[in-house]
Amino acid sequence: MHDLSGQLVLADVQKAIGYVLAVLLVLAFAVAVLVNMRRGRAEVGSEVELAANRKPYMADDELETKKLDRTLGVGLVLLAVIAVALPLYWLAEPGRQADAVAGFADVAVARGENTYVNGAQCASCHGPEGVGGVANYTITDPSTGDFVAQVQWKAPALNTVMYRYTPEQVLFILNYGRGYSPMPAWGAPGGGPLTEQQLTNVIAYLTSIQLTGDESKAAVQAELDATCKADDAGQCTLPGAKYKTLGEAVFNLGYDSGFAGGAYSCGRCHTKGWSYGQAQVPGGGAMGPNLTGGSEQRQFATAKQQEAFVSAYPKAGTAYGSSGWSSGRMGSFGTNPNSIDPKTATMSADQVMLTEEQIAAVVAYERSL
Ligand code: HEC
Ligand code: HEC
């Protein structure tokens, strides 16, 4: 976020000067009207001698010396004022426009925050400042509609959401929601209540609350140390660790602890029941496809190719692997080239969900499923 305080002060001063000038002009106008009304009433003489709207004028001598000099002098002064003031105004204009754009961006963030906290209450599920949370949800039988269970469904942290998704992907998720989960549709295309402008503002707010790369990496490392403590060979060494390898721990990051609402995990999309603590076959498929039974060996000839896919998820509509085709629903877990706008540098290249080592580990785990 830029610091706008200096520019805003300048804008306020300009506004104040403008108001003072406006008030002075109105006062001067009122005085002129009053004075003229008085003068107009005074009878100067009969129409023949001197009509009421005429006055005896200066003699030629005076007119061509004093009067002429004074008028030319006033003209010169005004010309000088214009010669100085106009370039000054032009010089300041690009800055004023830039300030207006920056101020506009700040307004978008503030409005987006208001929608996040109050309007749509995203915070009630995704946590304050997008730290992640849970949503109460009733699971029903898809064939009969009967009640199955009341669960708490992890709502992923959004303070890294721009790491994994491009703004277009986020807009798509917001427009349509995730119909199989507690995440409702928010945009008009999905039948939701918010306008595209409101959603754009929410995305501006989300962008403003993204963690730094270091904060995110440290949090993931702390969580992995608490669940796995991998050695150099990627085996978990924590006594009684639930997971055998670093890759398995990454795949399930936050399953028991609720860390970041599972945002960094793969299981939340690739394992049925993962998000509400009833994980079924690991990697057996949910919203994301089944990764087991050697399917990933078939899709990606080498682990490197699969790592590249997980790191930088291909744009919607483009092909990957031997017969994959991106739908735009997954995200990038390494450097997300589509999110880094070279013009604004909104995201920096070190804002990644997982390190190269962690991605290699999770890919090795998936290829073993
Ligand atoms: C009733 C709870 C609830 C509310 C309110 C809610 N969400 Fe969600 N949201 C969820 C859940 C649960 C998920 C995860 C769904 C899944 O498992 O795929 C989710 C997923 C998302 C995702 C995808 C994140 C990812 O990494 O997969 C985004 C983005 C998102 N929500 C943004 C928002 C925004 C912005 C709002 C407010 C306009 C909002 N949500 C309101 C519950 C909620
Ligand atoms: C938000 C949900 C989501 C998350 C989280 C997610 N995936 Fe996916 N993944 C998908 C979807 C959906 C696809 C199917 C491809 C598509 O639609 O573009 C997919 C496809 C894949 C594929 C290719 C499968 C194939 O055979 O074509 C791999 C490999 C994969 N994901 C690995 C991962 C790993 C590793 C992680 C965690 C680091 C992960 N995914 C996290 C949703 C997700």
Q: Report CA(30)–ligand 1 centroid distance (Å).
A: 61
Quick check: CB of 248 below 6 Å from ligand 2? no
The residues near 247 (Cβ < 8 Å, ≥ 6 apart) are: 234, 361, 362, 363, 364, 365, 366
Measured over the CA atoms of residue 114, residue 120, residue 121 and residue 126, the dihedral's sign is negative
Strands 133-140 and 147-155, by their bridges, are antiparallel
Q: Which residue has the higher pLDDT, 39 or 2?
A: 39
Q: Whose CA is nearest to atom 2 of ligand 1?
A: 125
Mean pLDDT across the stretch 261-286? 96
Give the model's pLDDT for residue 2: 47
Starting from the CA of residue 320, give the closest ligand: 2
Atom of ligand 2 nearest to the CA of 362: 35
pLDDT-derived band of residue 56, with 50, 70 and 90 as boundaries? confident
Q: Which of 129, 150, 183 to mutate to test the pocket of ligand 1 (most atoms within 8 A of CB)?
A: 183
Model pLDDT, residue 347: 79
Q: Residue range 71-76: average pLDDT?
A: 96
Of 2-11, 54-63, 287-296, 347-356, which one has max mean pLDDT?
Answer: 287-296
* pLDDT in the model for residue 343: 67
Return the amino acid letter for 188.
Answer: A
Statement: residue 37 has pLDDT above 60: yes
d(CA 345, CA 368): 38
For residue 252, the ligand closest to its alpha carbon is 2
pLDDT tens, position by position, 85-143: 999 999 999 999 999 988 888 999 999 999 999 999 999 999 999 999 999 999 998 89
Q: What confidence score (pLDDT) does residue 339 get?
A: 73
Task: Tell me how far apart the alpha carbons of residues 311 and 68 are, in angstroms, rounded to a whole number.
Answer: 81
Residue 38 has pLDDT above 80, yes or no: no
In short, whether 330's Cβ falls inside 6 Å of ligand 1 is no
For residues 23-29, give the mean pLDDT.
97
Q: What is the per-residue pLDDT for 40? A: 62
Q: Whose CA is nearest to atom 10 of ligand 1?
A: 183
Mean pLDDT score, 221-239: 94
The ligand minimizing its distance to the Cα of 274 is 1
What SS3 string covers the chain? CCCCHHHHHHHHHHHHHHHHHHHHHHHHHHHHHHHHHHHHHCCCCCCCCCCCCCCCCCCHHHHHHHHHHHHHHHHHHHHHHHHHHHHHHHHHHHHHHHHHHHHHHHHHHHHHHHHHHHHCCCHHHHCHHHCCEEEEEEEECCCCCCEEEEEEEEECCCCCHHHHCCHHHHHHHHHHCCCCCCCCCCEHHHCCCECHHHHHHHHHHHHHCCCCHHHHHHHHHHHHHHHCCECCCCEECCCCCCCCEHHHHHHCCCCCCCHHHHCCCCHHHHECCHHHCCCCCCCCECCCCCCCCCHHHHHCCCHHHHHHHHHCCCCCCCEECCCEECCCCCCCCCCCCCCCCCCCCCCCCCCCCCCHHHHHHHHHHHHCC
> How far, in Å, from the CA of 183 to the mean position of ligand 1?
5
Residue 13 has pLDDT above 90, yes or no: no
Ligand 2 nearest-atom number relative to CA 306: 29
In short, whether 306's Cβ falls inside 6 Å of ligand 2 is yes
CB atoms within 10 A of CB 6: 9
Q: Is 324 in the pocket of ligand 2 (CB under 6 A)?
A: yes
pLDDT of residue 47: 58
Percent of the chain with pLDDT over 90: 79
CB atoms within 10 A of CB 144: 8
Q: Residue 146 above 60 pLDDT?
A: yes
Query: Is the pLDDT reported for residue 5 higher than 60?
Result: no
C-alpha of residue 354 to centroid of ligand 2, in Å? 14
Residue 40 CA: distances (Å) to CA of 28, 30, 49, 60: 18, 15, 17, 27
Which region among 5-9, 54-58, 319-323 has the lowest average model confidence (pLDDT)?
Answer: 5-9
- What pLDDT score was predicted for residue 95? 92
Q: What is the CA(227)–ligand 1 centre distance, in A? A: 26
Tokens found for residue 119: 């309007």
Q: What is the pLDDT of residues 156-192, one digit of tens each?
A: 999 999 999 999 999 999 999 999 999 999 999 999 9
Of 207, 227, 368, 230, which Cα lies nearest the Cα of 296? 368
Domain boundaries, the chain: 123-367
93-107, 249-263, 333-347, range with the lowest pLDDT: 333-347
Distance, in Å, from the CA atom of 275 to the CA atom of 153, rounded to the nearest integer, reads 5
> By C-alpha distance, which of 236, 224, 361 is closest to 306?
361
Mean pLDDT is highest, among 8-17, 55-64, 313-322, for 313-322
Measured in Å, residue 360 CA sits from the centre of ligand 2 at: 15
Distance, in Å, from the CA atom of 230 to the CA atom of 72, rounded to the nearest integer, reads 88
Find the 206 Cα to ligand 1 centroid distance in Å. Answer: 12
Phi-psi region of 186 (alpha: psi -120 to 50; beta: other; left: phi over 0): alpha
Q: What is the mean pLDDT of the chain?
A: 91
1 has a pLDDT exceeding 60: no
Is residue 126 within 8 A of residue 115, CB to CB? The reply is no
Residue nearest to atom 11 of ligand 2 (CA): 288
Quickly state the pLDDT bin for 230 (edges 50, 70, 90): very high
Residue matched to tokens 């499923």: 369
Residue 163: burial class (beta carbons within 10 Å; 0-12, 13-18, 19+): buried
Ligand 1 pocket check for 151: Cβ under 6 Å = no
The b/e string for 177-203 (b: 16+ C-beta within 10 A; e otherwise) is beeebbbbbbbeeeebebeeebbbbbb
- Buried (b) or exposed (e) across 263-275, using 16+ Cβ within 10 A? bbbbbbbbbbebb
Reported as a pLDDT band with limits 50, 70 and 90, residue 35 is confident
10 pLDDT higher than 70: no
